[in-house]
Amino acid sequence: MNRLQGIAPARARRVGFVGLALAGLSAAGALGRADEGSSPGAAAEHYALPITAPLDQGDTGLCWVYATLSMLETNYMSRHPGVQVEFSRAALQRDAVADRLRRLARGEASVASDGGLAVEALELVRRNGLIERGDFHDVVDARPLLAALTTRIAGDAEPARKEQAIGETLAQTLGAPPPVTHLEGRPVSPAALANAALAGKAWTEYDVSPDGGEGIGPSRDPDARPETRVRYAPLDRLIGLIHASLARGEAVVVGTADHAFLVYGADYDHSGKPVAYLVKDSLAPYLYRLDADDLHGRLNDVTVALDGPPPSQAKADRPRTNEGLL
């Protein structure tokens, strides 16, 4: 997904919570059920997982990066109550840009962009590690870099020179991630930070099926890597996956046709029907309560964690194949 908005600056800026209160979590990772005798219309189930302060994606197409790292932050804090973590969007931006440019150099793509899917961001994290936000610079506008290197790569037939150009330009413009970062104030490697955040989970993207059926196939998102596969399912299945994920204390990356954001909470009525969702976005208004029917009408996909090994380790019925990443 690659949504660009207005004239927002490319530098990711921190925005305040504006009085947002985060309540303590139960053992299930949620605020729990309301009393059955509560007032009419009150939520029977209310979930509100912990979140970090939202960051503005600026004039970039990195909503998928922001939403994915927000999900990893929330899930880590849900597993470790009272702990605060923040992961570098810029370091993952660098990995994503490098991946796109190397694909271009190998002739696997005709254009480089900063778009992508949450499952692709997760695979990049698994392969390249994570950096704490305070250990790396902020997000930059990568469009001039992508345009310049696309032209340079297209004009050079020598693979070694293409790789050299990519490496030199990335180092000059986006920097090199540090070999040591931090988790809860302790020095750790980027790989160790990624392992702590991923917690052995595997993620799958479910897309709303155009015909109501179920199956596995390529993503219809124009920013998806060619080898990426998603599971197609009816809308009701996706709605149920959000509910199940929140109930076990895990946030969900949700996508519309052109944008991705985090759902970190929701209200459900006594029949289990969703009433409203709590959203953390990388575009204004950043934190808001979204009517369930409104979201359902625009819902395109959800990315949820499933039990089992990461996709790179699974041997059978793999929902995603991402070997081409970096």
pLDDT at 157: 67
How many Å apart are CA 64 and CA 298, to the nearest integer?
Answer: 17
Q: Is the pLDDT confidence value at 261 over 50?
A: yes
The model's pTM is 0.83
pLDDT at 312: 38
Find the mean pLDDT for residues 59-66.
95
User: Does 41 or 270 have the greater pLDDT score?
Assistant: 270
How many Å apart are CA 277 and CA 283, to the nearest integer?
Answer: 17
How many Å apart are CA 33 and CA 30, to the nearest integer?
Answer: 9
CATH numbers and ranges of domains, the chain: 45-306 (3.90.70.10)
How many Å apart are CA 64 and CA 130, to the nearest integer?
Answer: 16
Q: Is the pLDDT confidence value at 66 over 90?
A: yes
Q: Is the pLDDT confidence value at 246 over 70?
A: yes
pLDDT per residue as tens digits for the range 149-183: 877 777 666 777 777 888 888 888 888 889 999 99
Q: How confident is the model at residue 15 (pLDDT cuts 50, 70, 90)?
A: low
| CA separation, residue 222 to residues 2, 3, 58, 115 (Å) | 9, 12, 21, 9
Q: Is the pLDDT confidence value at 77 over 70?
A: yes
Find the mean pLDDT for residues 251-255.
98
Q: How confident is the model at residue 111 (pLDDT cuts 50, 70, 90)?
A: low
Which is it for strands 252-255 and 301-306: parallel, antiparallel or unpaired?
A: antiparallel
Task: For helices 63-79 and 89-105, give the axis angle rounded to 10 degrees.
Answer: 130
Q: How confident is the model at residue 13 (pLDDT cuts 50, 70, 90)?
A: very low
